[in-house]
Structure 1
Amino acid sequence: ENLGQSTGLNIRKPEDLSREVIQIQQREITLKEQNYALGSRVRSLERSQSTLLAEMTQQSSKIMEEQNKREAQESLVRRLQRRVLLLTKERNGMRAILESYDSELAPSEYSPQLANRLKEAEEVLQRTQNHNVDMEAQLTKTQEEMGVLKLQLQTVELELETAKKEQVSAADSCSSATKEEVNILRQKIEDLEKERQRLEEQNNNLEMRLERHNLQGDYDPVKTRVVHLKMNPTAAAKQQRQQDVEVLREEVTRLRELVRSLQDGGAVGLSQGDSYITTPSLNLNLPPSEEVLDLRKQMESSKLTNQRLKEVFQKKIQEFRTVCYVLTGYQIDITIENQYRLTSVYAEHMEDSLLFRKGSNGSMQLMETEFSKTLGEMVALHLHHQKSIPAFLSAVTLDLFSRQTTI
């Protein structure tokens, strides 16, 4: 109930505390999944933006290539047009020369030489006309190709303009949305990180309190059942040992009385035929040697039993120390009476240990060492303020573990 009042939770039994710890862990897992989903969405938006930029760069390179082709075709058209113009002028000049000859000479004045020249001129004219036809056909073809290229260029320009508009709109919307989402995601991440830290601290506090209750002997009677062995080997061995010791003590007492009586009774007579020792003044019988041997065997058996019990106890003690070292992370050694040295499993040096002394009232006090001098803040917080040695040891363990992880 005190734990529930201090934490503000409905904790009345250990199972309530376990349930709260499980719920906190589930909330932490949910928050981590949300954080991962938000990070994946941010990465997806970044990949989409990179894809759009790559497409825009590709379209720009295509436009530059088409523009270069267009300029080359325009240059070729201009050269062909100039050449056609020159050929047209040459043809017109040849026609003018022929017409001047025809006008100056009469039909009867034509000579064979003139006829040959006229024939050659006609051939030249025919070749020129044929060449002009070829050039015009080539010009027409070039103009058609140029028209096709212009259409392609216009199409590419339209596609580029559309892509630019889409890119700009997408970039604007994406940038604004991305900035807003990034800000929202960062805020959510910060909130989730704070919530995670708070839940971790609360979880650690609840685990320490649960451990403290367990150390104090609290347990859930519904889930935990205490079982005592009906035939406990240790108890049976102790009982048998106690019985053997009592029998031996009785035998020793009887033998001492017998010896004392013999010393008080005087001489002792021995008969070789009898197995008992008799005295003239007292009617006493000494036990035979076999009974003494049996008593010795019983004493040796008791010693062997005690030795085995010691070995079992030492083994169990060593096993208990190993389990404590693995579970708590501290090796506990007794230096002198009522003084204990704790060495962490994550200690950087062998001399990095804590020294505690047990007081007369059962309280533990931290002794000053070279290592404890470096833990001033933890000592002030957990020992002086919170007065919790388990919290102090846990904080030291986490600090040493974080150092090794960072390294």
Structure 2
Amino acid sequence: EKLQAWENLGQSTGLNIRKPEDLSREVIQIQQREITLKEENYALSSRVRSLERSQSTLLAEMTQQSSKITEEQNKREAQESLVRRLQRRVLLLTKERNGMRAILESYDSELAPSEYSPQLAKRLKEAEEVLQRTQNHNMDMEAQLTKAQEEMGVLKQQLQTVELELETAKKQQVSAADGCSSATKEEVNILRQKIEDLEKERQRLEEQNNILEMRLERHNLQGDYDPVKTRVVHLKMNPTAAAKQQRQQDVEELREEVTRLRELVRSLQDGGAVGLLQGGSYITTPSLNLSLPPSEEVLDLRKQMESSKLTNQRLKEVFQKKIQEFRTVCYVLTGYQIDITLENQYRLTSVYSEHMEDSLLFKKGSNGSMQLMETEFSKTLGEMVALHLHHQKSIPAFLSAVTLDLFSRQTTV
């Protein structure tokens, strides 16, 4: 049975296996072939990496040579432009010389014989000086032209050398690419596929990271905090509210006193006499149509009225100063300048606005809620309005998002 099994094994595998030694020999040969194939695979992988490094080096050299070619071409164009300008200048000088010569000849032909000799000598001297200056200038121009032509020749030679080096690099790259076998190309394709898969995975992780950062920023803008680490303290007695209430009471008392003093002064101006009784009440008597000087009580009342006016003026100045200070602090802290356009309508202008007309308009409803009015600037914020106002119902989040968007635009520019 064992012999029959060995014979069946040899027939099924197609190998000459008749005894265990034959099987061991075949296994050893297969292992040797496997080792040989692994060595060939390693050699091919090393060759692929070497060729890729050579290709990267050649690409870098080709890019460098291309930039050099562009730079040399720009220099050559600049030199050619300089040569053309110098040639035009020489042509203009030649025309100017011919014109001056014609003017001198016409002028000398009109002179009398007695004036010809001294005038001719003077003109000859001036012409010699002009000629000398022109010759010096021409020599300078010719020297510059020769120098420019020499530089252009050197640049042409450098350009030809760079073009030859570029062609050689391209040929080396083509020959190196042709030397790769089909197995090497397949392995390179597999590696490229792996690189593409890793790049896609990296992009997916970056997008997920950006989404998580946006969520974290959104939570921070909504005022989230850790209740374990953060404790919120609410003031039972608010100093600001108490100061406002006290100031309002002082204003009301001053207004009542001013009203009472105005009525008293008006009664005095109408011609009545005022007497102070023991009970502290005032009695008005009919006028006697006498031009009497004002009494001390009237003068005191006038002084009190002027003092009240001065106090009111000072209070107005203090109020205006505090209001302006409060608006400045709001503008610095929130980044928005708040203006009252109409009753229950408020215009908000961001400190980072690109244009003066870029503003938001809010209207206060009867129930105290604020509604965003449509403006040219708010039309461009459709996504933010839909997300923060319609979906999240948060005006502070909307204003913060607008501030961040405008700030990012300015920092990007």
TM-score category by the smaller chain? 0.3 to 0.5
The gaps in structure 2 that reach 5 residues or longer are 1-6
Structure 2 vs 1, CA of residues 177 and 404 (structure 1 numbering), >3 Å: closer, same or farther?
farther
* Deviation, structure 1 residue 397: 0.9
In structure 2, what is the Cα distance between the partners aligned to 1:280 and 1:13? 154
Give 4+ residue runs of structure 1 displaced > 2 Å after superposition: 1-288
**Residue 147 (1) aligns with residue 136 (2):** no
* Deviation, structure 1 residue 233: 12
List per-residue Cα deviations over 1:88-129 (Å, max 9, x = no partner): 999999999999999999999999999999999999999999
Residue identity over aligned pairs, in percent, reads 96
* Deviation, structure 1 residue 303: 1.5
Moved more, 385-394 or 227-236: 227-236
* Deviation, structure 1 residue 301: 1.1
**Contact kept in structure 2, 1:270 and 1:278, CA below 8 Å:** no
The gaps in structure 1 that reach 5 residues or longer are none
Structure 2 vs 1, CA of residues 171 and 395 (structure 1 numbering), >3 Å: closer, same or farther?
farther
Structure 2 vs 1, CA of residues 77 and 213 (structure 1 numbering), >3 Å: closer, same or farther?
closer
Tell me the TM-score normalized by structure 1: 0.37
In structure 1, what is the Cα distance between the partners aligned to 2:287 and 2:126? 186
* Deviation, structure 1 residue 302: 1.4
List per-residue Cα deviations over 1:341-395 (Å, max 9, x = no partner): 1111111100111111111111111111111111111111111111111111111
In structure 1, what is the Cα distance between the partners aligned to 2:14 and 2:322? 42
**Contact kept in structure 2, 1:35 and 1:192, CA below 8 Å:** no
Structure 2 vs 1, CA of residues 100 and 379 (structure 1 numbering), >3 Å: closer, same or farther?
closer
* Deviation, structure 1 residue 251: 9.2
Structure 2 vs 1, CA of residues 245 and 60 (structure 1 numbering), >3 Å: closer, same or farther?
closer
Q: Report the 3-state secondary structure (helix = DSSP H, G, I; strand = E; otherwise coil) of the residue aligned with 1:268.
A: strand
Moved more, 271-280 or 75-84: 75-84
In structure 1, what is the Cα distance between the partners aligned to 2:332 and 2:71? 72
Q: Of 382, 385, 389, which aligns to 2:391? A: 385
List per-residue Cα deviations over 1:165-201 (Å, max 9, x = no partner): 9999999999999999999999999999999999999
**Contact kept in structure 2, 1:14 and 1:210, CA below 8 Å:** no
In structure 2, what is the Cα distance between the partners aligned to 1:15 and 1:289? 147
Question: Whose RCO is larger (CA < 8 A, sep 6+)?
Answer: 1
Q: Report the 3-state secondary structure (helix = DSSP H, G, I; strand = E; otherwise coil) of the residue aligned with 1:10.
A: coil
Q: Report the 3-state secondary structure (helix = DSSP H, G, I; strand = E; otherwise coil) of the residue aligned with 2:16.
A: coil
**Contact kept in structure 1, 2:258 and 2:308, CA below 8 Å:** no
Q: Report the 3-state secondary structure (helix = DSSP H, G, I; strand = E; otherwise coil) of the residue aligned with 2:285.
A: coil
What does 1:38-117 correspond to in 2, within 5 Å? none
In structure 1, what is the Cα distance between the partners aligned to 2:275 and 2:126? 182
* Deviation, structure 1 residue 299: 1.6
In structure 2, what is the Cα distance between the partners aligned to 1:217 and 1:396? 17
- Max Rg structure: 1
Tell me the TM-score normalized by structure 2: 0.36
Structure 2 vs 1, CA of residues 210 and 288 (structure 1 numbering), >3 Å: closer, same or farther?
farther
Structure 2 vs 1, CA of residues 377 and 45 (structure 1 numbering), >3 Å: closer, same or farther?
farther
In structure 2, what is the Cα distance between the partners aligned to 1:60 and 1:180? 31
In structure 1, what is the Cα distance between the partners aligned to 2:103 and 2:313? 146
- Corresponding residue number in structure 2 for 1:6: 12
Structure 2 vs 1, CA of residues 25 and 62 (structure 1 numbering), >3 Å: closer, same or farther?
same
Q: Report the 3-state secondary structure (helix = DSSP H, G, I; strand = E; otherwise coil) of the residue aligned with 1:277.
A: strand
Structure 2 vs 1, CA of residues 190 and 375 (structure 1 numbering), >3 Å: closer, same or farther?
farther
